[in-house]
Amino acid sequence: MTSDTDHKLRRILTDVLGLKPGQADAFDADTGLFGHLPELDSMAVAGLLTEMEDRLDIVVEDDELDGELLETYGNLLAYAEAKRAR
Amino acid sequence: MQFTAYPCPLPGGAAGSEFALAFDRDRQHRMLVLPALFDEANRMRRFAVEVMRRLDGAGIDSFLPDLPGCNESLRSLAEVEAEDWAMAAEAAAAEFGASHVLAIRGGALFVPGALPGWSYGAVKGASLLRTMLRARVLVSREAGREENLEGLLAEGLSQGLELAGHRLSADMFARLHELAPGDDIRLTAIDQDLIGGSPLWLRAEPDEDPDQADALAAVIAMGLKQ
């Protein structure tokens, strides 16, 4: 069962990475992001975070930004779900 | 397609000019295309020109001006103020006799007052700045320097700032931070849902999408027929 946040987050990654529809469905909790996908440089990550703020209606704080957050899809999703639950 | 220029006054009123790309066959409808800004300008340029080719095929002239300090401009971006971009858009509209405008992303912040037309993906200046500020924070952290959004924002407002390789003057930074797309009823906002696919300005790498260019040109061509 996928949550609304999960669905939206996959859609955002599809947009940022230029994936074909459905390709992001294959992401699991261990799928590597920052540091694993060469196209995900700092500008792309910044764009990704802005889109997350807009579409998930959250505010990403400076001090929440660490390497771990963006390491895997699972980490990013857990973060987004916790933010939205607040 | 022609390579041309338009007169764009320098600060203080001296004569200057900027480059523009034109599809000009003296037709009735003449579209001023205002480009996306900063890193998005690169990602959206091919798309903008692809749309212009399609408009040309549909019997519509179009013009894509360089803004001062951008692209082929001889001026240094660090010395450009936001007002210079608004004046450049007005000057290009006048020179090319524009009947309509298509503003892409941040281009929507500088639409000449008198023109009807369309905006695509219009964005607040503050949102563009926030993304670039954050990219800078990420890069700094990787390099072991501690910077934060709040501190950089304050620095940008007081002294200007270099963001994603673009040196912004304090005036440019402060004005961009305030500017938001207008709610002019003569401008029709084009939603991504209408264009299909995912927005090219979000892509990590520059990309193209003929279907999206077809869709945007079709929306405009149909709008002009009504």
B149·A39 Cβ contact <8 A = no
Domain with residues B2-123+182-225, CATH architecture: 3-Layer(aba) Sandwich (3.40)
ipTM over 0.90: no
Judged against a pLDDT cut of 80, whether residue A67 lies above it is answered with no
Whether B176 and B129 have beta carbons less than 8 Å apart is answered as yes
Pick from A7, A42, A5, A38: nearest CA to A22:
A7
pLDDT at A79 over 60: yes
Average pLDDT, chain B: 94
Instruction: Report the pLDDT value the prediction gives residue A2, as an integer from 0 to 100.
Output: 66
Q: For B9-42, what is each residue's pLDDT tens digit?
A: 888 778 899 999 999 999 999 999 999 999 999 9
DSSP states of B63-128 as a string?
EEEPPTTSTT-SS-GGG--HHHHHHHHHHHHHHHT-SEEEEEGGGGGG--TT--EEEES---HHHH
Residue B129 has pLDDT above 50, yes or no: yes
Domains plus CATH for chain A? 4-85 (1.10.1200.10)
Asked if A42's CB is within 8 angstroms of B204's CB, the reply is no
Neighbours of A58 (CB within 10 A): 17
Nearest CA to CA, how far is A74 from chain B (Å)?
20
- pLDDT one-digit tens code per residue, B47-98: 999 999 999 999 999 999 999 999 999 999 999 999 999 999 999 999 999 9
Confidence at B166, pLDDT banded by 50, 70, 90? very high
Given CB atoms, is B148 within the 8 Å cutoff of chain A? Answer: yes
Per-domain residue ranges for chain B?
A: 2-123+182-225, 125-180
Concatenated DSSP letters for B204-223? SS----HHHHHHHHHHHHHH
Residue B145 touches partner A, C-beta closer than 8 Å: no
List pLDDT tens digits, range B168-183: 999 999 999 999 998 8
Contact of B141 with chain A, judged by CB distance below 8 Å, is answered with: yes
Choose between A33 and A86: higher pLDDT: A33
**Residue A61 C-alpha, separation from nearest chain B C-alpha, in angstroms:** 9
Distance from CA of A11 to the nearest CA of B (A): 9
Contact between A45 and B138 using a beta-carbon 8 Å cutoff: yes
Q: How many CB pairs under 8 A join A and B?
A: 58
Give the pLDDT confidence score for residue B105 in this predicted structure: 97
CB-based contact B202 A16, cutoff 8 Å: yes
- Using pLDDT thresholds of 50, 70 and 90, give the confidence band for residue A1: very low
**Amino acid B204: pLDDT:** 81
| pLDDT score recorded for residue B222 | 96
At residue A59, the pLDDT reads: 93
* A44 part of contact set with chain B, CB < 8 Å: yes
CA distances to A44, B52, B164 from A39, rounded to whole Å, are 7, 28, 16
Residue B167: is its pLDDT beyond 70?
A: yes
Average pLDDT of the residues in B135-146: 88
**B178, B84 in Cβ contact below 8 A?**
no
Q: What is the rounded average pLDDT of the residues B184-213?
A: 91
**Cβ of B131 and A18 within 8 Å?**
no
Contact B131/A at CB under 8 A: yes
- Tell if the CB–CB gap between A39 and B205 is shorter than 8 Å: yes
